[in-house]
Structure formats: structure tokens, C-alpha cells
Structure 1
Amino acid sequence: MAPGGLVVRPHPQVSLVLHRRSVIVGVGLLGVLVGVMVAAACLGQTFVSPLQVWRTLRGEDTPYALVVGELRVPRIVVGALVGGALGVSGALVQTVTRNPLASPDVIGVGHGAAAATVLALSTGAVASPGALPAVSVAGGLAAAALVYVLAWRHGMQPSRFVLTGVGIGVALSAVVQLYLTDSELEAAEQVKLWLTGSLNGRGWEQARPLALVLLLALPALVWASRAVRPLGLDPETAAAIGVRVNRTRLGLTVLGVVLAAVATGAAGPIGFVALTAPQLARRLTRTPQLPLLSSALTGAVILVAADLAARTLLPPLEIPVGALTSLVGGPYLLWLLGRRTTR
């Protein structure tokens, strides 16, 4: 029996260590997520009772088929998937950089996605809005790859990686701002709306590919849940016990970038979820490493709850969920900075 944990052996040659508190927290977060999703399906300009929501989801003929089945439920599913992907991505990036203030935006994913979207809109390379998610994913991956190449010097130092990402992000932000000041009003408004990050109008066409990517990433996530443990040690100690530090960091970085890129492609750049979810999950579970599953559930809860608030705070107006998460996440970032300064 591991201290504070339970050893599970699904196979004679395979053993897993389950942290008791992590299991309890995970079950609790799952219950909270279900509750928030039910509330999001019920609340809005039109209130729908939980019974009517259930009947609609079962396919029965109800007057709420459009509101619940076509508008709210797909949006809730996209929010949960995007929040989960951002939570895991933030945990992986913070593990690699060993910095609780790091997030996928720091390594240029969001800025790359924004720049690629702007370029596609300005040149007319995108024939339909449905192709924009693929463009933003490609831009996010390309930006992160550029950061990695420029930061590599006989290995990847986390501090150099973060600083390079900040520099690339500033340059790409300048490209976006330059476009916004010298473009047609309609195109500029479209870009501004995308840059705020929103779940408005999101449906099954965004949920299906995102769910498919997360399903395909499950084996990599299982590997990552074990790979993050030795990275909590200093690089010399990790290397001494047989860990290939640079390869492990590269693998975790690629996985985190892919998750952040597909999330950004589905909903636009939504700030601070990837930053806050892993730290909140760690405080709840009290584990030495950032817990991936709890980070995913925390991110999903944060984003679904934030989108519910964005829809209902100022009816009939709707606040972009990215603006709301930034409004809440800004003070949290300042609090984290204050904690690090006082240590």
C-alpha cells in the first residue's frame, strides 16, 4: 500500500496507484459538473424544468426540442469538452515549465491561432466559417512548434521556453492588432468576436471533432499521467532514475499544445481556464504533481459555469465567456503573483 494511496493491479504486470483524496475529489467534481450542466440546460430566457430536459433528451415530443436539444445541450457539451481540454493542457504546460503562472497562451498557442485566423480572413483563404477551426488549430500548432525550435539549445530549459513563447506571442499579437486597424469594419468585427472566445452558436459540428480528438488522445493521456510524476524532481535526479527528461518534456508539450489548439479552434481563445484549473485542482487534491483528471474536471466546471453566467447575468445581452473568464482570472493571476513574491 502506497502512503495515502491505493495500489490497483488490473494485470499481474501492471499496477496503478490511486490517491484516495484525488479519487474523492474527482467524484465530487464530476457531481458538480453534472449539476452545473443540468442548471445550464434549465436556465436561460426560457426556463425548462429538469423533467422536461430529460424528456427532450430521451427524444420525446416536447415544446423545448429547439431550445434544449439544438441550442443549449450542444453548447454545454462543447463547453465541457473545451474546459476539460484546457484544464489538462494547462497542467501539462505548467508541469513542463515548472511554473504555476504558465499556460498554453504563454507558448503562443492562442496567439498563433488568432494570427492564422486573421490571415485566413484577410486573404480570403477560407471559403466558409466552418473551416476556421481547422485554420486556428494549424496556427496554434505552428506557433508552438516555432517557440520550441527557437528555445532549443542542447535541451529545453523551461525558463527559456517561457520567455521565447512570450516574445513570439507579443509579435503575433502585433500582427493581429495591425490587421484590426487596417481592415474592413465587418471583417474586423468578425475577428474581434472570435478573439473574445465564445460558445455562442457552438453545436454538434464543433463537439464531434473535439470529442474524437480527446478520445484518440486517451492513450497519450494515460502515459502523461505517469510521465508527470518524475518531472516533479530536479532534472538531474530524474535522469539518474532513468527518465529521458528532454523526450518526456517534448511529449508532454506536444500533447498539451494539441489539446489547447483544438480547444481554441472550437471556441476561440478563452483565457485563464488553463491557468487556474490545474492550480485549483492541485489545492483540492493536495497531490505533489498536478492531477490531470481533476484538472480536466475543474476546467470543465469553470467553463460551463462561466458560460451559464455569461448567458444569464445581463439578459437579453450575452457576455462572451472569454471576457468573463478573463475578468475573474485576472485577480487570480495577481493573487498568484503576490504569493510567489512574498515567498
Structure 2
Amino acid sequence: MRPARIRGRTSVRTSVRASARASTCLPTAATARYPGSAGLAVLRHRSLSLLLHRRSAAVAGALLVLLGAVMLLSACLGQTYVPPGEVWRTLRGTSGTYDLVVGELRVPRIVLGALVGAALGLSGALVQTVTRNPLASPDVIGVGHGAAAATVLALATGAVASPGALPAVSVAGGLAAAALVYVLAWRHGMQPSRFVLTGVGVGVALSAVVQLYLTESELDAAEQVKLWLAGSLNGRGWDQAGPLGWVLLVTAPALVWASRAQKQLGLDDDTAAALGVRVRRAQLGVTGLGVVLAACATGAAGPIGFVALTSPQLARRLSRSPQLPLVSSALTGAVVVVGADLVARTLVPPLEIPVGALTSLVGGPYLLWLLGRRG
């Protein structure tokens, strides 16, 4: 009986694998035969092939143009208006009139905002892919709370000698909080609902630690922590943008792998296992990548809420793709953060609203709408 059972299992696995290939790797001439494949195209070069979603590519191109326009507008507007031509000449180094305003104050801040938004958008898409829940994000699973708690403890104990070391401390705290959530949620596997609920509980506990410190600490230290907790790009520049840019560059190959793993994680566990996919390993790898990106973004600019939650869903609604588009999610996050920072700088001059407060003000109603829409 065992040989027959093995042959049956092998035949089932072969048939499932064949059907999956037929649904995800369609040749260009045959895409019209399959439902939902009309928007797909196959790019081939010798032995390499790439399955491309046409609308997602078009949306990504439009978002890239929009990001460039928002970045240029942010470089021009402020207490001192700078014409676009002068911005361009300053970037080329042919004009020294606005070197301080554009070259040293605005451009580093804009670049950092774009990088932070891209990292948060990617992390949100990865976490929501694993949990299969649009309400999940790195904020929900305790990454931001862990970074805040680590920063607070470092300031309280005097472990940080200079403010420049705070980003590294917050990154370590975010990674430690996510690891704790993963360990507590593991029960012979990772169930998405248990993972999210455990993250909420850990986040509440870490938030209580922060509030206790703010209540008992000295005024100067409390003000420093409050400023960091608000999530702001004010006073930040190349020192924070450089390391975050290197993180995005180094993780680019892992993001390519994650985009392929998305298709596998979109299936139910039994089907994915029948295709030979190591589901638990893929879930751990995709979640870990999302946590690293979120922790590094939080370390660079502080906790900027709701960007990781909203960006992937906005990108998916724009592209109408069967899975969360990573490139469009990154570009959407970049547009949201740079645009929110522009509004925060120019809404009530000369005061500056922290960009994290503005994104939370917009993201809170969106979360309520999403909860009501899902019943």
C-alpha cells in the first residue's frame, strides 16, 4: 500500500504544480485564455523570463513621476520660496545663492523622507502578505513600540553617550520586539491572527514602559523623548539618509526573492506544501525582511504611524493586482511621507508639525473606515 500512496501523492503534487504553473507563468499568446490574466505580459530574454502586470507597471511609472513632482515642490516651498530653475542650478552646483536653504536643509530632508516612506511601504506590504490581513503592519506587531522603549531605556540609563547612537539603539529595540512577538506567537507554526494579536499585546506593554518613563523622568529628557516619539524629519539629513539608503540597497536581492515568495504565500498552506514550498521558512524570511526595513526607518526618523498600513492597500487598489505590489507600495509610501512633510512644514509657518502626527491624523480615520468596511 505504501508505494501506491506515494505514487498518488506524487501525482497530486505534480498536477497541482502544473496547474499553478499554468496560472502564474502564462505565455504571452495564451494569456487571453485564462481568466484574470489579460493584464499580464511575459518579458523574455534568452533563457530568462519575467511575468509583468501591465497596470502595476503603469501605476509604478505614474507614482515615480508624482514622487519627482512632490520632491521638487517640497524643495521650492517653505519660508523662503526658491524657483525651480534655482533648485536645479543648486543641485548642479552652478549657483551658490540657495546652497544653505536647498542644498543643506531641504534636499537631505526630502531624500530621507522618500527613503523612510519607501522602507515603510515595503515593510507594510511584506507583513500584510504573511498575515493576509490589511489591518496588519509593523506598527501593529510592536516594531515601533520596541524602538521607542529601547530609546527610552537608553536615555534613562545613560547608555547612549551621543544622540547619534540613538538610531542604532532604536533599530535594535524594534528587532528585539519583533523577535519576542514571533517567539510568543509560535505554536507549532505561525498563525497570522495569533501573530497580530500577540504583537498588539506586546506593543501595549512596551507603550506602558514609555509612558512610565515620561511621567518619572526629568523635563529635558522627557522633551527629547517626546520629540523623537512624534516622528519628525526636522534636523535630520544625510547622516540618517545614508545608512537607510545602504540598507535598501543591500536588501534589494532579498526583496526580489520576496516578490517571488508572495505568489507562494498567497496560496493556502496545504496547496503551498503540495507544491514543495517551505511555508514556515518563507513566512519567517518575508516577515524578518519587513521588520528590518521598518526598524531601520523608525531609527532614522522616529515612529511615523500608518504609512506602512495604508501604502500597500492604496498601491493595490491603484494597480488592481492579485498581490500587494512591492514597487508601487514603496513609491506610495515615499509620496505619502514627502507630501506629508511638505504640508507639515508649510501649514502653520513658522511652526513645524511633526510628520508622524500628520500621518496619524490622516491614517486614524482610514483605519476606522477599513474596520467598518470589513465588518
TM over 0.5: yes
Report the Cα distance in structure 2 between the residues aligned to 1:340 and 1:231, rounded to whole angstroms: 22
Question: RMSD of aligned C-alpha atoms?
Answer: 0.8
Deviations 1:277-324 (A, max 9, x none): 000000000011100000000000000000000000000000000000
Match of 2:266?
Answer: 232
- What amino acid is the match of 1:117? T
Contact 2:143 2:291 in 1 (8 A): yes
- What amino acid is the match of 1:8? L
Could you tell me which runs of 5 or more consecutive residues in structure 2 were left unpaired when the two chains were aligned: 1-27, 32-36
The equivalent position to 2:240 in structure 1, one of 186, 201, 206, is 206
* 1:52-201 correspondence runs (5 A): 52-201=86-235
Deviations 1:191-250 (A, max 9, x none): 011001000011100011000010000000000111011211211112112211111100
Report the Cα distance in structure 2 between the residues aligned to 1:57 and 1:10, rounded to whole angstroms: 37
The equivalent position to 1:311 in structure 2, one of 345, 352, 363, is 345
TM-score by length of 1: 0.98
C-alpha change, 1:333 and 1:42, in structure 2 (3 Å) is same
SS of 2:159's equivalent in the other structure is coil
Report the Cα distance in structure 1 between the residues aligned to 2:40 and 2:135, rounded to whole angstroms: 28
User: Between Structure 1 and Structure 2, whose CA radius of gyration is higher?
Assistant: 2
Deviations 1:116-171 (A, max 9, x none): 00000011110110000000000000000011111111111101111111111011
* 1:258-337 correspondence runs (5 A): 258-337=292-371
Match of 2:43?
Answer: 8
Report the Cα distance in structure 2 between the residues aligned to 1:107 and 1:98, rounded to whole angstroms: 14
Deviation (angstroms), 1:11: 4.6
Contact 1:52 1:62 in 2 (8 A): no
Deviations 1:247-292 (A, max 9, x none): 1100000000000000000000000000000000000000111000
Contact 2:126 2:287 in 1 (8 A): yes
Report the Cα distance in structure 2 between the residues aligned to 1:195 and 1:153, rounded to whole angstroms: 33
Could you tell me which runs of 5 or more consecutive residues in structure 1 were left unpaired when the two chains were aligned: none
TM-score by length of 2: 0.90
Tell me the percent identity.
80
Report the Cα distance in structure 2 between the residues aligned to 1:62 and 1:50, rounded to whole angstroms: 14
Deviation (angstroms), 1:58: 0.6
Report the Cα distance in structure 1 between the residues aligned to 2:365 and 2:205, rounded to whole angstroms: 25
Contact 2:86 2:95 in 1 (8 A): no
- What amino acid is the match of 2:42? V
SS of 1:210's equivalent in the other structure is helix
Report the Cα distance in structure 2 between the residues aligned to 1:61 and 1:301, rounded to whole angstroms: 28
Contact 1:224 1:252 in 2 (8 A): yes
Contact 2:108 2:241 in 1 (8 A): yes
SS of 2:225's equivalent in the other structure is helix
- What amino acid is the match of 1:257? V
The answer to whether 1:215 aligns with 2:249 is yes
SS of 2:49's equivalent in the other structure is strand
Report the Cα distance in structure 2 between the residues aligned to 1:236 and 1:336, rounded to whole angstroms: 29
Q: Which stretches of structure 1, 4 residues or longer, exceed 2 Å deviation after superposition?
A: none
SS of 2:134's equivalent in the other structure is coil
SS of 1:228's equivalent in the other structure is helix
